[in-house]
Amino acid sequence: MTKKATPSRLREAILETAGDMRRLGIMDEATHEKITLRQLGKEVAPEPAPITGEEIRSLREKARLSQAVFARYLNLTVGYVSQLERGAKRPSGPALVLLDLIRRKGIEAIL
């Protein structure tokens, strides 16, 4: 029988301090998320924000990539990238995570 881990007092103190620092504006949201994610584990991972077809096309064009090359970098088919850009489909799962990463950090984040 495995025992479920309970938060230690130190972990609780770290999370409380990080929350206070975030509320006071001393710490930015991205840093706060990293701290809480490390302390709480992957089960509380934040869900990436939805992304529109226009945003996807803009990301690709900003990186000066064809649909074929963009699809290759994301390990997707060209047809799927085309459907995403037209808004016929919405990205989910790993595709959404990669697109969100590119949106936040640029195409260099996956190269």
pLDDT digits (tens, 9 = 90+) for 22-76: 888 898 888 877 776 666 665 555 678 899 999 999 999 999 999 999 999 999 9
In three-state secondary structure terms, 36 is helix
Which pLDDT does position 1 carry in this prediction? Answer: 45
Segment 8-27, tens digit of pLDDT: 787 788 888 888 888 888 98
- List pLDDT tens digits, range 83-98: 999 999 999 988 999 9
Provide the pLDDT for residue 8: 75
pTM beyond 0.85: the answer is: no
